[in-house]
Amino acid sequence: MKLSGDFDARRLRPRGPRLWRWRFGAALGALFAILGVLLTLAGAAILLGRPPLIANLEASTGAGLVLLIASLLLLLLGLLIWRACRRRLRCSDDLSLAPHLLKKHD
């Protein structure tokens, strides 16, 4: 069978989903995780008696403890968002396989 010159096989396949939302979510989750690490270090420094030189930052032990707990929660939230978006980016919607049956790439 002879193919014509204007044949394009890409038109036969359905378009895949847009991945920019998941990439943006992964970047936002990574940003939350980085911010959580930095704030954790600041909270630990306050608890150890070496407060960082940041304007308008209360250097009491209670404030350091609150900052440490809030930053650990922010770190955990960022990691969960980042992992969920990365998992969604890696798994295509072609086959419905259980996540534990997929190859491990990380």
Higher pLDDT, 87 or 28: 28
pLDDT, one tens digit per residue, over 51-74 is 766 656 667 888 889 889 999 999
Domain membership flag for residue 79: yes
Q: Contact 31/78 with Cβ under 8 angstroms?
A: yes
| Domain ranges, residue 65 | 28-91
Domain membership flag for residue 19: no
Q: What pLDDT was estimated at residue 95?
A: 54
Domain membership flag for residue 48: yes
Q: Which residue has the tokens 């086959």?
A: 95
Q: How confident is the model at residue 78 (pLDDT cuts 50, 70, 90)?
A: very high
Would you say the C-alpha torsion 16, 22, 23, 26 has a positive or negative sign?
negative
